[in-house]
Amino acid sequence: MMESKKEKSKKDWERILTKEQYQILREKGTDPPFKGKYWNHKDKGIYYCSGCGNPLFNSETKFESGTGWPSFYKPIEIDNISTKKDVSHGMERIEVLCNRCGGHLGHVFEDGPQPTGLRYCINSTSVNFCDLCCDFSKITQNFSK
Ligand SMILES: [Zn+2]
């Protein structure tokens, strides 16, 4: 089993995350469209969970969805995320969560491009981008404390 799955308390998360991150990741908030830092971001690299540093999406699978949120047609590893039926706000959607820390990432819809036909609609606040030459330890150092 993953040792990293240890539960953090509300207090721990409030200390680790910014106010915005806490609201999205832990309270299932949503970035306003066309406002997040990554919706129009085109650099090559990896998007990591901003709650725990879990690698989630590769820029190669990012596409222009026109929705105002970063959109990907597949995660780096299917096991790095989990999905859950979400019936909030009078809609039936599939919620996407980080499989390591349980943070809320966004939703997945079945209107994406091939090869998967899926559209992972992800909040910019839920991820941190790291280009291919950045120092990954900088992203993870906050999470080991
Ligand atoms: Zn995470």
Residue spans of the domains in the chain: they are: 31-143
Average pLDDT over residues 58-87: 97
List Cβ neighbours of 74 (8 Å cut-off, separation of 6 or more): 61, 116, 118, 120
How many CB atoms neighbour CB 139 within 10 A? 19
Give mean pLDDT, residues 115-138.
Answer: 87
CB 142 within 8 A of CB 16: yes
The residue from 121, 130, 133, 134 that is catalytic is 121
Q: pLDDT grade, residue 1 (50/70/90)?
A: very low
Active site residue 52: no
Homologous superfamily of 31-143: Peptide methionine sulfoxide reductase. (2.170.150.20)
Radius of gyration of the chain (CA): 14
Q: What is the pTM of this model?
A: 0.88
Cα 115 to averaged position of ligand 1 atoms, centre (Å): 26
At residue 136, does pLDDT exceed 80? Answer: no
From the CA of 25, how far away is ligand 1's center (Å)? Answer: 9
Rounded to the nearest angstrom, the distance between the alpha carbon of 128 and the centre of ligand 1 is: 11
Measured CA distances, 106 to 30, 49, 71, 124, 128 (Å): 8, 12, 10, 9, 14
